[in-house]
Chain A
């Protein structure tokens, strides 16, 4: 693991630099740290930072850039006819990479000599058998261009790694020397160190932004790729969803959106009344003891992993509903997995979201408004219905929207409880499926990422992301706007 050792060496240089820098600064002050501008440790840290930071920055950039650069070079050198029909450049490159890795492993295990591995005139069949003997998974036939590409891929990577090691070590040593030259008593080491720490803090804070950018980019690129092979008008216009891995898939989003919406509506029909009344009772009626018990008990529901709810839907609620509405009962239900099953269980999951947010919001309504209402002779429930709730309404709507966004993005309950059939139906006892469930099923198969059947998951993810993001932003806007009124 050369990168690992490189990191270790750089760190060792940094530790050495730390000790030297600290000693040098102290020596410059005649051994009395009171003559230094900063505490001695800061001088050491200054050297260590100068050794580590530029070296590691270069290493990270290099490690990201090298594969891209090498791939594009190798891809450019490949002969024109190499990409067969039904294949793509990325598949060919994957094969090249696999072959190169196979050669590396074969050389490492001694099944192939390094000379042979890089020899341009190596015999292909011999090469293949040796790779297979070394236990490497290789496609049945390595063609000459692929082998050559793999060899030049290896060669370039080897040079690149060597170059990187040299430069990184040089930078680390250079940084150490630079830091050591600065280790004189008047140097403001603390300011430099604190500026670096601050930079580190800023970097940590920007990871949130990077994550968002990562999400958006990974969704956008793959979605564009999808629309290149599957027309967007079909995706948004077709009413059928029937992916088939032989091709000719119908990938219309509407059945999935309808399933998502239907299940979410049922979930909200369960969660909103129960959650809202629970919040009202807890904040306006409940005694301290009841509140101390009931509030955590309901919030436990939010801490339970969704896989538990999924199993609960599949194995408990589904059969229960089947007993009442199934063929033995009313005959409306064909199987235990249905919109109703998933919706009910998801509703249970959402109760605490609605109740604790609404609880906070109802508590934020000023007491003076209640007192005013009581003063006019209203009963408690009249006060709540006609004064408190209207005042809290925007916040409650925000809470419901947040719960709705939860419901739309929920995965495990619908994967296990809602069934797998994509259909447009009004019967809540039919099995339907959702956007999230289909993302899981399209991406967990063994399909390759280039097929529309797999890529459609990214388009679905994009849709999901936009819908939930929109709901969240809207909900937060409403909640924030409402807060400004009373605080």
Chain B
């Protein structure tokens, strides 16, 4: 009765020739595939653009244009300068005289102008004085000084500042650029590795050249110590309970739902929690790495618990059964056998959690760990935890929020350092996993 071949809609076509409809379907198929490829390529392209712009904008932060000058201060000049009222100015006078002589020796054509030199390398007197006060034995000997140029000259050589945009001011005159160009040609202004950026502290708003990330790296380090020593034991204990001992009941359910929800709470809410509980209520000191560490601990705990539970789960039950079979208590089976076997996975998860915490910014801003408090290195263990300090990402934020373009370069440079730390942590995690991962 119902014969398909009799219906009018029967498709007459050959398998050997492609008809219009099939062509259309095949085209749609290809298109769909290309959309997918395009999506992947877009994602990867974003990654590449991000990496390129970080490296391109950040690398200049690691170099600085410095004036290399050989300078000899005789003992008489030293005694004379120390005897004067304006000591640093006296040093500067001797320096300028020596510098002018050197320029003439090297055939630098541009006229020597002490004011211009001052604008290019700043006040040299204080640097020289503090150097010779500490190294009196070097008096009378030629000493090579690397004096960093002012941030504007630095920006000029790095392409941040264009000649067309320079207007004469007390910070920089257009003619200074000619002198700077000639100095660079004569090899007196050279590009040097910027140690200040690695080891320095945050500087004032008007001194981008002296800003360094060192102090906030230390702040981050102390925070990570707090996070490590709190979140690892607490996270492991919580996971052991939930995975091995917890009875299936309402309270366990409540805890589990809580953990998965906490993992998705915006980080800034943890900042509010830290502000209200640790600072307002418990009166812990503001801007202290200890408080930052506590907040980040609460934030990373869910991550660590989730990964720890996964690695506990991956230990086969036969291990537990064998331990119980030879008379171990349940607690002994877990602590003596399951936990050591799960340890590589737990450590991997912890390192990844720490890396996440290291890059977190928003909660730190709320508890006062902004960049400009990173003015001093802590002078001990307790001071490291309790004294106001910043952290790498907060320091980067502070630099990014300043209007001076020279700080942007520092911010990008800071990001390179932050990413190097993150990369190192992730590589350690991957190596740990490769080395100790066990397939049952």
Contacts and interface: CB of A to CB of B under 8 A. Distances in A.
B37 A382 contact: no
B362 interface: yes
A208 B238 contact: yes
Given A208-B259, A409-B267, A285 B33 contact: yes
B39 A305 contact: no
B301 interface: yes
B43 A222 contact: no
Given A208-B238, A297-B44, A348-B46, A311 B400 contact: yes
A282 B41 CA distance: 12
B310 to A, nearest CB: 14
Interface of B is mostly: helix
B261 A469 contact: yes
Contacts of A465: 265-266, 269
A197 B331 contact: yes
B301 A298 contact: no
B303 to A, nearest CB: 12
Interface stretch (B50-58, B102-110, B151-159, B170-178): B50-58
Most central of B32, B37, B329, B422 by chain A CB within 10 Å:
B32
A315 B57 contact: yes
Given A198-B331, A204-B238, A305 B422 contact: yes
Nearest to B355: A303
B26 interface: yes
A306 B397 contact: no
Interface stretch (B84-92, B198-206, B241-249): B241-249
A379 B241 contact: no
Contact of A308 (B42, B370, B419): B419
A376 interface: no
A205 interface: yes
B420 interface: no
B97 interface: no
Contacts of B235: 204
B319 interface: no
A379 B23 CA distance: 12
A53 to B, nearest CB: 15
B393 to A, nearest CB: 4
Contacts of B301: 207-208, 211
B277 A205 contact: no
B440 interface: no
Interface string B100-132: 000000000000000000000000000000000
B258 A461 contact: no
Interface in B134-168: none
Interface in A3-35: none
Contacts of B272: 215, 218-219, 439, 443, 457-458, 461
Q: Contact residue range for chain B? A: 35 or more
Contact of B246 (A197, A205, A297, A416): A205
B400 A310 contact: yes
Interface string A206-233: 1111011011001101100000000000
A166 interface: no
A290 B37 CA distance: 10
Contacts of A151: none
Contacts of B238: 201, 204-205, 207-208
A194 B329 contact: yes
A444 interface: yes
B54 A308 contact: yes
Interface string A442-474: 011000010000000110010011001100110
A124 interface: no
A316 interface: yes
B29 A379 contact: yes
Contact of A351 (B43, B269, B276, B422): B43
B63 interface: no
A281 interface: yes
Nearest to B279: A449
A382 B25 contact: yes
A177 to B, nearest CB: 26
Nearest to B275: A443
A376 B377 CA distance: 71
B36 to A, nearest CB: 3
Contact of B268 (A222, A312, A464, A476): A464
A253 B385 CA distance: 37
Contact of A190 (B57, B245, B329): B329
B43 A206 contact: no
Interface stretch (A77-85, A130-138, A272-280): A272-280
Given A278-B43, A310-B397, A208 B258 contact: yes
Nearest to A467: B266
B302 A305 contact: no
Interface string B316-351: 000000000000010100000000000000000000
Interface stretch (B64-72, B187-195, B410-418): B410-418
A411 B267 contact: yes
Contact of A208 (B28, B49, B302, B366): B302
A208 B361 contact: no
Nearest to B281: A218
Given A205-B238, A311-B400, A468 B43 contact: no
Interface residues of A, number: 89
Contacts of A307: 359, 361, 393, 396-397, 400, 415, 418
Nearest to B397: A307
A311 B412 contact: yes
A412 interface: yes
Given A208-B301, A280-B36, A443 B269 contact: no
Contact of B255 (A205, A282, A382): A205
Nearest to B56: A316
Contact of B32 (A301, A315, A381, A410): A381
A53 B32 CA distance: 65
A306 B35 contact: no
Contacts of B40: 277-278, 281-282, 286, 290, 294, 298
Contact of B33 (A200, A221, A281, A449): A281
A168 interface: no
Contacts of B39: 273-278, 281
A215 B273 contact: yes
Contact of B35 (A277, A312, A469, A472): A277
A436 B268 contact: yes
A201 B266 contact: no
B222 interface: no
Contacts of A269: none
Nearest to B270: A215
Interface in A304-348: 304-308, 310-312, 314-316, 348
Interface of A: 67, 190, 194, 197-198, 200-209, 211-212, 214-215, 218-219, 221-222, 273-278, 280-282, 284-286, 290, 294, 297-298, 300-301, 303-308, 310-312, 314-316, 348, 351-352, 355, 379-382, 384-385, 402, 405-406, 408-412, 415-416, 436, 439-440, 443-444, 449, 457-458, 461, 464-465, 468-469, 472-473, 476
29 contacts: A201-B238, A211-B273, A212-B261, A218-B272, A218-B275, A219-B276, A275-B39, A278-B43, A281-B39, A286-B40, A297-B43, A297-B44, A298-B43, A305-B422, A307-B415, A310-B397, A310-B400, A315-B400, A351-B46, A381-B32, A384-B32, A385-B32, A411-B267, A412-B393, A440-B268, A443-B271, A443-B275, A458-B276, A472-B261
Given A201-B245, A310-B397, A415-B397, 11 more contacts: A209-B254, A211-B273, A214-B273, A273-B39, A290-B40, A301-B47, A381-B28, A411-B361, A412-B361, A415-B362, A439-B272
Interface of B: 25-26, 28-29, 31-33, 35-40, 42-44, 46-47, 49-50, 53-54, 57, 233-235, 237-238, 240-242, 245-246, 254-255, 258-262, 264-273, 275-277, 280-281, 283, 298, 301-302, 305, 329, 331, 355-356, 358-362, 365-366, 368, 370, 393, 396-397, 400-401, 408, 411-412, 415, 418-419, 422, 426
What are the 9 tightest A-B residue pairs by CB atom distance, in nearest-first order?
Answer: A409-B266, A305-B359, A281-B36, A218-B276, A277-B39, A204-B237, A381-B32, A201-B241, A411-B362
